[in-house]
Amino acid sequence: MMMSNNDNLLYKQKQPSLSPKFNDIVHNFPHYTIEYVKSLFPIRTWILGYNKKWLAGDLVAGLTVSAVIIPQAMAYGSIIGIPVEYGLYTSFVGMIVYTLFATTKDATIGPTAVLSIILAQTIRRIKNDFNGGYSDVDIVTTVTLFAGIVSLIIGFLRLGWIFNLIPSPVISGYITASVITISIGQLPFLFGFGHDVVVTNPPYRIIIDFFRSINKTKIDVVIGLISLSFLFAMKFGCSYLEKRYSKYKKLFFFIGISRYIICILVNTFISWLILRNKSENNFPFTVVKTVPNGLKHIKVPPLASNLVFVVLKNLYIIIIVSLLEHLSIAKSFGRFNGYKIDPSQEIIAIGVTNTIGCFLGAIPATGSFSRSALKARTGVLTPFAGVISGSCVLLSLYLLTPVFYYIPQAALS
């Protein structure tokens, strides 16, 4: 069969080659390296143009978020079963470090309810697999270190797109189930016998143990239920007033979001009046008690090979949930406010936060939807609001720890 001239030309054409591309990379390697390093610090795109108008918006947002994160962070420490100050360390480190690497102005980094319950369960699994005499705090800081390292590897390799493959219903279902688990786990603390029930057990087991111990109910239940009623009343009351009196919408909004700090302050003041002249052994209800002043838990996480092996074996769920939770939040606010985020860069931000935070006593941090929504609604303009919030948390660790002593545990629950 005869071939035409056109057919012959097809066979004589050069096949695609990687050589030109490879030569281009080698030749321009310094340039590509510099650009890659620049891309790791999105702060350079806005910090030089920072102005007074931006500062005003960020200041309001930062102070508002700090009023919410302080009681929340302490409560999340209680969920995990570790001293409350570790939640504050996480908030301080997370919000300040994230400012350097953020590609979204709205997301707020720190401890979250979902991640806290997963951490509590992970600690229990690690302790079951490894009986090496390490405390819960030692295990958590080691988990935080390796969660940060793995996140950094994923981010540096620009593999953030992988998390787009996980269906949204799976994420929503998991978060909903975690919220139910958290609520059940806090019931014993709400009724004053939290130390008599293993709250990291499966939910059905907690419910069984809860009703078995119901006769141990203390006055804590009064504090807890009144606090819960107050929070719901403030939330729905202010929402109604915002709609009813639209002229004062912003005022009622700020009153509504201040409900957490108001609840804690009122409870703490009443607690101080009742307990100030009593010895610790005669306290009628459980309080937080001593919170160390400042950053008193700076140390290198334990890195015994057998502990590290068990931590790595149980790390996958922490990585998946923390990154999914944060990316979902960042993307949502990006779409709502008309900007795009870089998923891999956001993962790097989480990685750096956790890698640095573990040496300061922080636990794994991720994005919080409630605090991010609050930050967005208060008019945040740049990620610098995180520095303001983080600084307020740090100040509270140095100035307010005597006050934290009298916070009722049931109020945090």
Question: Mean pLDDT throughout 68-84?
Answer: 84
Tell me if 406 is assigned to some domain.
yes
pLDDT higher than threshold 60 for residue 104: yes
At 26 the pLDDT is 61
Q: What pLDDT, on a 0 to 100 scale, did the predictor assign at position 354?
A: 92
Q: 106: closest CA among 347, 391, 385? A: 385
Out of 44-53, 204-213, 280-289, give the one with best mean pLDDT.
44-53
Residue 368 forms part of a structural domain: yes
Please give the average per-residue pLDDT across 68-72, as a whole number: 85
Q: Which residues, in sequence order, are CB contacts of 204 under 8 Å at separation 6+? A: none
**Cα atoms in the Cβ-side hemisphere of radius 13 Å centred on 390:** 22
11-37 pLDDT, tens digit per residue, is 444 555 556 655 656 666 666 677 777
Round to whole Å and give the CA distance between 304 and 120.
Answer: 21
Q: What is the pLDDT of residue 121?
A: 83
Q: Specify if 255 maps to a domain.
A: no
Confidence bin at 353 (pLDDT 50/70/90): very high
Closest residue by Cα to residue 390 from 108, 109, 95, 106: 95
Q: What is the 3-state secondary structure (H, E, C) of the chain?
A: CCCCHHHHHHHHCCCCCCHHHHHHHHHCHHHHHHHHHHHCCHHHHCHHHCCHHHHHHHHHHHHHHHHHHHHHHHHHHHHHCCCCHHHHHHHHHHHHHHHHHCCCCCCCEECCHHHHHHHHHHHHHHHHHCCCCCCHHHHHHHHHHHHHHHHHHHHHCCCHHHHHHCCHHHHHHHHHHHHHHHHHHHHHHHCCCHHHCCCCCCHHHHHHHHHHCHHHCCCHHHHHHHHHHHHHHHHHHHHHHHHHCHHHHHHHHHHHHCHHHHHHHHHHHHHHHHHCCCCHHHCCCCECCCCCCCCCCCCCCCCCHHHHHHHHHCCHHHHHHHHHHHHHHHHHHHHHHCCCCCHHHHHHHHHHHHHHHHHHCCCCCEECHHHHHHHHHCCCCCCCHHHHHHHHHHHHHHHCHHHHCCCEHHHHC
What band does 1 get if pLDDT is binned at 50, 70 and 90? very low
d(CA 327, CA 322): 9
pLDDT value at residue 145: 92
Q: What b/e string do you get for 30-43 counting C-beta neighbours within 10 Å, with b at 16 or more?
A: eeeeeeeeeebebb
Does residue 277 lie within any of the structural domains? no
Q: Can you give the pTM of this predicted structure?
A: 0.80
- Tokens at 82, concatenated: 């570790």
CA distances from 364 to 21, 30, 87, 108, 397 (A): 40, 35, 10, 14, 19
Structural domain containing residue 115: 46-216+289-412
Mean pLDDT computed over 311-334: 85
378 pLDDT exceeds 60?
yes
Counted residue by residue, the chain has a size of: 413
Structural domains counted in the chain: 1
Which residue bears the tokens 């080698």? 26
Q: Is residue 340 part of a domain?
A: yes
Between 182 and 152, the higher pLDDT residue: 152
56 falls within a domain: yes
Average pLDDT taken over every residue of the chain: 81
* Domain annotation covers residue 16: no
Q: Determine how many CB atoms are found less than 10 A away from the CB of residue 17.
A: 8
In this predicted model, which residue has the larger pLDDT, 22 or 312? 312
Highest mean pLDDT among 123-127, 275-279, 309-313: 309-313
If you average pLDDT over residues 215-239, what whole number do you get?
Answer: 86
pLDDT, position 361: 86
Percent of the chain with pLDDT over 90: 7
Residue 233 in any domain: the answer is no
